[in-house]
Amino acid sequence: MIRNHIHPRLIPFLAGIALVAFVACSGGESSSPVAQATATSAPGATAASNDRVAPGLRETPDTSDVQIGESFNERAGGVFRRLWSDPPTLDPHQVTDTTSAGLIVELFSGLAKLNQDLEIVPDLAESWEQSNDGKTWTFTLREGLIFSDGTPITAADFKWSWERAANPDTESTVADVYLGDIVGINEIVEGDATSAGGIVVIDDRTLQVTIDAPKPYFIAKLTYPTAFVLSQANVEAGGDNWTDTPVGTGAFKLDEYRVGERIVFSRNENYNGRKAYLDRVLFNLAGGIAMAMYETDEIDITGVGLADLERVQDPTEALNADLVNIPPGFSISYVGFNTSKPPFDDPKFRQALNMAVDKQLIAESVYAGLVTPAYGILPPEFPGYTGDIDGLVYDPDGARALLAESDYADPESRPRITITIPGTGGSPSLDVEIVADMWKTELGVEAEIQQVEWATYLQDLNRERLQAFGGLGWEADYPDPQDFLDILFHSESPGNHGQYSNPEVDDLVERARTEADPQLRVDLYQQAEQAIISDAAWLPLWFDTESKALVKPHVENYRYTPIIVPKLGEVFLSN
């Protein structure tokens, strides 16, 4: 998400890249604060085992709550403190970024969720069944479900919530992306209907959902916040400000939100699973130097930037005992081009810009090997990743030749280039500055860097106002290549912020949507990815590598995952 996405996941790509997991809330958790966290990837995530592109689609695992009674009482209590940023929204139906999603998944929930092993498991649903033709799903809700205010949850609440997400008045930019497979949802999005015929309430505990075609990733989409259930009474009573006092279904509830100061969560005593161990979670929004705040015990967790990396890895340093590894996230950072706006409407010009950037040099000399140059779209170890994409590598002579062949070879008539990045002053994103400098040095192409506030940036991005955009990334919302290649590059996808249009890519991803054979799906996505890269729809920059974090010794069960999943309910503080 910008999700980015959260979904997925757009993430503000900061200088000192290890901080991304904490400021922008990508990243996940480690089972022990002093043990080395191992990468947790989705089943079927490697090239050798792509037989399960989207995990957990055929079985409904048992997720009975077992940690209760004495074990709960021994672990319950305390305040977990961390640094965060003001979220653009707390409305699950509007979220498109990881800063918001990292909070929302702790306050709200849906029929299914991704667990910390990235398996799709039941959440508010007890079970589900799929029809023989793959188009009708029947969900059975758990007994006795209640919202955080104690009012009951029924199947009708899901129907109302999904139709509310699709309603134009909600102003969701992603309802059709995540719910549009459901028959009737797109008619609501277009303003032609108010009810979706594909959502049928059988009884209080049974919901029947019909989609437009058998799609193997449909259940995975329901783990995204757009599909979360809301309290109709809460939303309607609160009007535009209903998220000031939200009624949710997550392990926590919102106690306080002071913009620019703090957000406070407390345990949801009406949670439908095992209650959270923590009494409260305090998110510090006031900013500050994360490492200094960690060392003065103001926060319990922080990423480790380049400036402190050597120090904390020294075994004689006291902080070394708190050091944990962060497995690579399923994300990519990039510079996006609006391919409908000059000069980015010329593929040769875009290819020249790609080939003028020495990513390997930047990765080694600027980021000390903490990033991996990206020449494709799908991150390593992600489902559908093959490593066989032929990328546009650094070739300054080839770049100059392509520029000369393009429609924008003449600098006098070339349109002015502006790269917009999120920020509120200060130094621009380091990567974008270096990229712009390489364009100027190798090609004589000049680009101005413009900063705008994060919420405004997202709004302009979603409205396709930006000519070029950087300082961001895409983090997976669920472990399926459709979440990258279809959502970001299909010509009619709302997530296609660069307005990229390629009939070959459209055909490939449309065929992959309903392909039942997992390996054939991978093959189709690989062809689409190669076409996108060859066409230079983006300038891919970096994939994550394993990075470092510090976690206080008293923090237990804080586990890192490559996708945003609900996790704080598992955290507890030891004495």
Q: Are residues 406 and 399 in contact, defined by beta-carbon separation less than 8 angstroms?
A: no
Q: Answer yes or no: is 255 within a domain.
A: no
Q: Answer yes or no: is 319 within a domain.
A: no
Q: Are residues 88 and 557 in contact, defined by beta-carbon separation less than 8 angstroms?
A: no
Is it the case that residue 76 has pLDDT exceeding 70?
Answer: yes
Whole-angstrom distance, CA of residue 439 vs CA of residue 442:
5
What's the confidence (pLDDT) of residue 71? 84
> Which tokens go with 248?
């949710």
Q: Answer yes or no: is 263 within a domain.
A: no
Whole-angstrom distance, CA of residue 568 vs CA of residue 368:
31
Is it the case that residue 60 has pLDDT exceeding 80?
Answer: no
Report the predicted TM-score, pTM, of the whole model to 2 decimal places.
Answer: 0.86
Residues in the chain: 575
* CATH number (domain holding residue 504): 3.10.105.10
Whole-angstrom distance, CA of residue 541 vs CA of residue 410:
27
Question: Which helix or strand (DSSP H or E) is residue 338 part of?
Answer: none
Q: Are residues 474 and 5 in contact, defined by beta-carbon separation less than 8 angstroms?
A: yes
* CATH number (domain holding residue 556): 3.90.76.10
What's the confidence (pLDDT) of residue 305? 86
pLDDT band at 22 (very low <50, low <70, confident <90, very high): very low
Is the bond into 327 cis (omega within 30 degrees of 0)? no
DSSP 8-class letter at 484: I
Whole-angstrom distance, CA of residue 267 vs CA of residue 80:
12
DSSP-derived pairing of the beta strands 417-422 and 447-452 = parallel
Q: What percentage of the chain carries pLDDT values higher than 90?
A: 81
How many domains does one find in the chain? 2
Q: Answer yes or no: is 256 within a domain.
A: no
- Tell how far CA 501 is from the center of its chain: 23
- What is the pLDDT of the chain when averaged over all its residues? 88
Whole-angstrom distance, CA of residue 267 vs CA of residue 259:
21
What's the confidence (pLDDT) of residue 313? 95
Q: Are residues 204 and 69 in the same domain?
A: yes
Using DSSP's 3-state secondary structure scheme, residue 570 falls into: helix
Q: List, for residues 534-548, the tens digit of each pLDDT value.
A: 999 999 999 988 889
Q: Are residues 511 and 568 in the same domain?
A: no
Q: List, for residues 308-365, the tens digit of each pLDDT value.
A: 999 999 999 999 999 999 989 999 999 999 999 999 999 999 999 999 999 999 999 8
Q: Are residues 53 and 194 in the same domain?
A: yes
What's the confidence (pLDDT) of residue 544? 87
Q: DSSP letters along 97-117, please? A: BHHHHHHHHHH---SEEE-TT
| Cα-trace Rg, the chain | 23
Q: Are residues 551 and 418 in the same domain?
A: no
Q: List, for residues 242-282, the tens digit of each pLDDT value.
A: 999 999 999 999 999 999 999 999 999 999 999 999 999 99
Q: Are residues 459 and 558 in the same domain?
A: no
Q: Are residues 551 and 521 in the same domain?
A: no
Placement of tokens 């005593």 in the chain? 269
Q: What percentage of the chain carries pLDDT values higher than 70?
A: 87
Q: Answer yes or no: is 234 within a domain.
A: yes
Q: List, for residues 173-209, the tens digit of each pLDDT value.
A: 999 999 999 999 999 999 999 999 999 999 999 999 9
Placement of tokens 């994360």 in the chain? 290
What's the confidence (pLDDT) of residue 400? 98
Q: List, for residues 318-327, the tens digit of each pLDDT value.
A: 999 999 999 8
Q: Are residues 424 and 563 in the same domain?
A: no
Q: Are residues 109 and 165 in the same domain?
A: yes
> Which tokens go with 348?
């040769």
Cα dihedral 241→244→245→249 (10° resolution): 100
Q: Answer yes or no: is 276 within a domain.
A: no
Q: Are residues 380 and 420 in the same domain?
A: yes
Measured CA distances, 407 to 64, 342, 410 (Å):
62, 9, 8
Placement of tokens 């979706």 in the chain? 196
The stretches of 313-429 forming alpha helices (DSSP H) are 347-355, 359-365, 396-405
Least confident of 51-60, 122-131, 543-552: 51-60
Is it the case that residue 528 has pLDDT exceeding 70?
Answer: yes
Alpha carbon distance, N-terminus to C-terminus of the chain: 37
Q: Strand (E) positions, 146-299? A: 199-203, 206-210, 252-258, 262-267, 280-284
Is it the case that residue 220 has pLDDT exceeding 80?
Answer: yes
What's the confidence (pLDDT) of residue 427? 67
What's the confidence (pLDDT) of residue 285? 96
Q: Answer yes or no: is 12 within a domain.
A: no
Using DSSP's 3-state secondary structure scheme, residue 140 falls into: strand
Q: Answer yes or no: is 283 within a domain.
A: no
Whole-angstrom distance, CA of residue 64 vs CA of residue 161:
26
Q: Are residues 563 and 521 in the same domain?
A: no
For residue 287, give the nearest of 61, 514, 82, 27 by alpha carbon: 82
Helix axes 347-355, 430-443, angle to 10 degrees: 110
For residue 219, give the nearest of 329, 361, 57, 46 by alpha carbon: 57
Q: Are residues 559 and 476 in the same domain?
A: no
CA angle 564–566–568, rounded 5-degree value: 115
What's the confidence (pLDDT) of residue 391? 97
For residue 63, how many other CB atoms are within 10 A of its CB? 15
When comparing pLDDT for 30 and 211, which is higher? Answer: 211
Give strand pairing partners of 321: none
Domain extent at residue 413: 331-544
Q: Are residues 223 and 142 in contact, defined by beta-carbon separation less than 8 angstroms?
A: no
What's the confidence (pLDDT) of residue 40? 26
Q: Are residues 502 and 551 in the same domain?
A: no
DSSP-derived pairing of the beta strands 79-83 and 280-284 = parallel
Is it the case that residue 449 has pLDDT exceeding 70?
Answer: yes
